[in-house]
Amino acid sequence: MNTIFPVVGVIGAGAMGSGIAQLAAQAGSTVLVFDTRPEATQASVSSVAAQWDRLQAKGRLDATATQTLKTRLSAVDTLAELGACDLVVEAVVERLDVKRALFSELEKILRPDAVFATNTSSLSVTAIAAGLQHPGRVAGFHFFNPPPLMKVVEVIAGLRTQVQVCQKLMEFTRQMGHTPVMAQDSPGFIVNHAGRGYGTEALRIVSEGIADFETIDRILRDQVGFKLGPFELMDLTALDVSHPVMESIYHQYFEEARYRPSVITAQRLAGGMLGRKTGEGFYRYIDGVIQKVPEAPVPEVGEMPPFWVSPRAARRAELLSLLKSLGAKIETGPSASPLALTLVAPLGFDITTVAVVERLDPARTVGIDMLIDDAATKRRVLATNPATRTDMRDAAHALFARNGKAVSVIRDSGGFVTQRVVATIINIASDMCQQGICSPRDLELAVTLGLGYPLGPLAMGDRYGPTNVLEVLFNMQTVYGDPRYRPSPWLRRRGAIGLSLTHEEN
């Protein structure tokens, strides 16, 4: 097999380094593994060899291929033994001083045309390369854990990185059977940057007392199609990993409101409630099994009130059709009768604001989230305002659960849950394109492969409508007065002229 880098050095014998070493050998390179702990280096080589044995046992490798791969991989005891490498990939501790010192030593050992790659997930590639005699040969080469299974790799160009260095790393990624995406040197690169909205906005919703962790997870799984809710995901990655990334990106962007972390995760990190690995996070775990609380039963309602739908409701025709299919008595007059339950379906506004602006009786007003077509979701979400009567809340809950679809009832929130989180994700992704961090195509690839979202953020924006997303953001900014929700120029301009968010400019 002809490989673009015949001899590759991997520094760091942890799970990440071992995974990279495995992929490099499978791409045809001779791979030398080094760690400051000799026993860890040998353990890394042994673990990779054991992985190939398992693949052979499953029939995915034959005996000859397994033996060939093992001959390509070996441990070395000193940095000097990496002198013949065409590429060295470091996967050591996330400290700028450590990485810079390491590359400074390597520059004395390797020939001037050898490529240096850093697997950093949060540090500046430009800063790591600063001070070297040949900073142009340093690039980011960010794999995700575990590297053999996570099929996307970020290739990051620092300010001085030579174009051909990134081109070689992109080709090497393809030889590994993975998908490369190209990013400029910026905090969080693509995946960690684009993923900021999901968790941080969910945390803000909790901090406002709108819904609990489990309710938010249910809503985002069932309405949007995320595989894991944000709190399930943070429990899986662990807060000692996810919270520092939140703080790092926030501070690297000089306290940009869109990336603001939460006191909730800071407190839980301090208290050791890290997630699955400690047995307790946002959920409790017994023998590694998540413990979830059953949903509250649907309330029993004796006599159902008539329903009146606001003329300004989003998807009003669909909402009226849904009410009819559920057997509701529908009022069609210009205003609700004194007995009617008033339904509103705002985009971005809270139920209180709508009731005041439209001069509705807040005690009889309930909101429903209609951003997404009801037929495309597994859950309906209702919201009350502080004055909503219990009988009105229960009647709405009972009616919308009549055909067996799950219903969540939350407290008043500008943008409910789905609108807030989805709009935040789309807005951050749009601004990444505005900043030129990556192309729309690479952003979509990186997020779907790296984060497992049901759609890329820009495709998500196209599906739900850029104008609808803009309305959510503008109205949320009005409700909260927070610059966090200001729309990106990329989103605003494309929404204004009806252009797809995934459109690549000439």
Catalytic pick from 142, 178, 193, 243?
A: 142
Cβ-proximal residues to 243 (8 Å cutoff; 6+ apart), any chain: 261, 265, 266, 269
Is 124 among the catalytic positions? no
Nearest to 180 by CA among 206, 162, 154, 205: 154
Is residue 154 flagged as an active site residue?
A: yes
Q: Please pick, among 18, 29, 119, 121, the residue that the annotation labels catalytic.
A: 121
Catalytic residue among 90, 107, 154, 331: 154
Rounded to an integer, what distance in angstroms lies between the CA atom of residue 500 and that of residue 404?
A: 35
Token digits of residue 480: 């909260």
**Tokens (6 digits) for 482:** 């927070």
What's the CA angle centered on 77, arms 75 and 81, to 5 degrees?
Answer: 85
Helix (H) or strand (E) holding 449: helix 440-450
Helix (H) or strand (E) holding 450: helix 440-450
Pairing of strands 379-383, 365-368: antiparallel
Element of type H or E holding 250: helix 239-252
Which position among 186, 192, 242, 468 bears the catalytic label? 192
Residues written for the chain = 506
Residue found under tokens 């400690």 = 278
The encoded tokens of residue 267 equal 């407190």
Is 193 tagged catalytic? no
192 catalytically annotated: yes
CA 218 to chain centre: 17
272 conformational bin, left if phi > 0, alpha if psi -120 to 50, beta if neither = left
Distance of alpha carbon 421 from alpha carbon 432, whole angstroms: 17
Write out the catalytic residue numbers: 121, 142, 154, 192
